[in-house]
Structure 1
Amino acid sequence: MMTLETATLLQLSIIIPVHNAEQYIERCVDSFIGTFNAFSELILIDDGSTDDTKQRCRAIIERYPDWRIRYVYQANGGVSSARNHGLALAEGQWVYFVDADDFLVNSAQLFEPVVGQSVDWMLFRTKIERAGGTDSAFGLTEDGDYQYKMAKGLFLDHYYQNVFFQSCNKLYRRAIIDAEALRFDESLRIGEDLIFNLQYLQHCRVVRHRAAFLYVYEIGHAEAATSTLKPQWFPVNLTALDIIETQLVAGITEVDRAAYTRFLKQYVRTFFRMLIVFDQRTLTVPERQFIQTQLINLERGLPNGTSRWLGWLNRSHLAPVMLVGLRRLKQRLK
């Protein structure tokens, strides 16, 4: 049973935003409750559910009366609002986010006394399960501690390994979140995790990557968050790039210059892929103008001679037109 003494020594706060997750929330909690300990708390933030989610959460609390589990209802405000509400309530030294329709494996590792005083962020590998049985994963494949402020090129190389884009399956030091008043941007409906992570990373001394799988992210059911490309990704990427350039890799040395060039080239390819996805019915004129400006800015950051074709396309205002044309040609050839 939780005592007053142990309550003051809370090590971990697990925050789960829940919205119409009656089919999944019990599976999610059951996946780690067996290794839950008296130094942890679980915060269930019901984001305006209209199904049986409240009853399922109440059943969880009744089934595990010895554990510190809180259920809080709020009017629907989105996942960022729910996570921020959870952060306001959290009392643990560390914070860990889980989505209600996902679940944990090897969860005992989450409750180990894992981090020393120097480690400010811990990232685990994530397994992606898709409908039809196709699996993949993201996260670094070897354990390692990194000081990205001292190894900026390494950060840039890790960026496109998809390790900073999600908030789930990561241990955050709550003292940093509180000291810097960090919160998820509730105005964003996509990319809010990436912006939060880049803001948090600015205050980290050591980032620890673990090769162990700890989290299973499902794609394919109706309630799953999808990675469908949306126009909102354009301004999010602009914000991310600004944080990276002004805060995370400012003053980059010549040693890391090659990594910086690779990073910018990848950004160019990313924006081109975005353009190909949208045709003129879904991509507005301001969005096309924004992308064109962004590509010009990226071009200026590349070494001379590496992007003449890109510069010509931008200066002739043909990049959006040509890429929309490629999109339509691809559709006709299907």
Structure 2
Amino acid sequence: MPAQLAISIIVPAHNATEFIDECLAHILRQMGTAHELIVIDDGSYDDTAARVEAQAAAAPHCAVRLVRQANQGVAVARNAGLQQARGDYILFVDSDDLLQPGMLECLEAAIATHAPDAIATDFCFWHPHRTDQPLELTRLSYPAGVVLHGHDAILVPYFADRRMYAWSKIIRRQIYLDLGMPLFPSGRLFEDMATVPRVLAACNTLVYLPLVLLHYRQHAVSITHLTSPSWCIDYVLALASLKPHLERAGVSPMVRAEFDGASCLFYLCSIKTSFGLPTCSETRQLRAEVRAIFLGGLFGTIEQSLHNLESGKITSLNLRSGRRVAYQVKQALTDSTVFQIRQTINRAYKTWQLARQKRLSKSN
């Protein structure tokens, strides 16, 4: 292994037999001496580990390590990868996604030129089950070609874009370590949403590359399979849990306002998702719990947040969209009967749509 490693690529994997070969092939074919690949096998009971070992044996010029652990979830796997890593920068890749050709070289060039604390990139939502338009390009709103400095330049676009995936930012390893390990919260969904903003708040500089880093695989699954009380709670809690960390980092009123705007949108998504659960007293209690987490996680008052939405002060929303979001948040907070009926109907329709999509994908 070389004395100096530029990038550590960390791949958490659990029962990834169906995807791991393709994922690793896309990484290994562009690895050089400045890269290492660490696969954390999170208690797989299929042949994921054997496939990783076979890929490593077929690429002896690449620095590949397989680390096995009991199944503890993706957050613990990410933490384990960070503790194993030796590279200057960390790139996370999920085991079912595809790192695009030439991206390691592009990242190395940005590191050599700018040595930023963080690098942001574009990506594509990838729908392999679709025959038409399987790729949806997602561009970030950072300006390209310049080094961005400070919280406002880094965090305002981040919360406006609301693309909070761990793999979408390549960050200096020492910044992760300085925050203390373990960093990703164990036992919770949306562990990246709860962690990456905190890490970015510790960054002084960021460079944006308007290039597609990877194809982010979307699975054709039933919406009822995804919906659970823990999903609804953890989705809102991910942002709410960040508040004390951002306070300690001393973020500006501008960042706080954008954070509160994003929190409103995530709250609304969580509440709408809850209508996919069976209607009962527990569901109403769940919505009350989600509401309390949301309100407790805001920097300002809910009235201030709604005013910012209604007056077009949220970067990512135009005046019309902001007013629509504010109206729906008010309805959700007051348990409006009209809102409940509308969301119940919408959720039933989406469930039907996804079931139909799944049937079509199986027939093709």
**SS state of the match for residue 14, structure 1?**
strand
Q: Residue by residue, what CA displacement relative to the aligned partner does 1:218-249 show, whole Å, maximum 9, x if unpaired? A: 11267xxx9868312122232245545x2567
Q: Which residue of 1 aligns with 2:37?
A: 42
**SS state of the match for residue 119, structure 1?**
coil
**Aligned partner of 1:277 among 273, 276, 292:** 273
Unaligned stretches of 5+ in structure 2?
A: 311-322, 353-364
Deviation of residue 285 (structure 1)?
A: 4.0
Asked if 1:129 is matched to 2:126, the reply is yes
Pair 173,331 (structure 1): closer, same or farther in 2 beyond 3 Å: closer
**Aligned partner of 2:110 among 87, 111, 114:** 114
Asked if 1:301 is matched to 2:287, the reply is no
**Aligned partner of 1:17 among 5, 12, 15:** 12
Alpha carbons 2:155, 2:200 under 8 Å: kept? no
**Aligned partner of 1:147 among 128, 146, 149:** 149
Superposed CA RMSD in Å reads 3.3
Q: Residue by residue, what CA displacement relative to the aligned partner does 1:282-311 show, whole Å, maximum 9, x if unpaired? A: 663443223444359642334769599789
**SS state of the match for residue 303, structure 2?**
helix
* Higher helix content, 1 or 2: 2
Deviation of residue 27 (structure 1)?
A: 1.1
Alpha carbons 1:38, 1:67 under 8 Å: kept? yes
Pair 268,303 (structure 1): closer, same or farther in 2 beyond 3 Å: closer
Give me the whole-angstrom Cα distance separating, in 2, the residues matched to 1:273 and 1:318.
16
Asked if 1:94 is matched to 2:89, the reply is yes
Asked if 1:211 is matched to 2:227, the reply is no
**Aligned partner of 2:335 among 303, 319, 326:** 319
Give me the TM-score of the superposition, normalised by structure 2: 0.74
| Residue identity matched to 2:335 | A
Deviation of residue 263 (structure 1)?
A: 5.7
Give me the whole-angstrom Cα distance separating, in 2, the residues matched to 1:89 and 1:249.
31
Pair 273,202 (structure 1): closer, same or farther in 2 beyond 3 Å: closer
Q: Which residue of 1 aligns with 2:191?
A: 192
Q: Which residue of 2 aligns with 1:159?
A: 159
Give me the whole-angstrom Cα distance separating, in 2, the residues matched to 1:277 and 1:15.
31
Taking every aligned residue pair, what percent have the same amino acid on both sides? 21
Q: Which residue of 2 aligns with 1:236?
A: 238
Give me the TM-score of the superposition, normalised by structure 1: 0.80
**SS state of the match for residue 160, structure 1?**
helix
Give me the whole-angstrom Cα distance separating, in 2, the residues matched to 1:34 and 1:327.
47
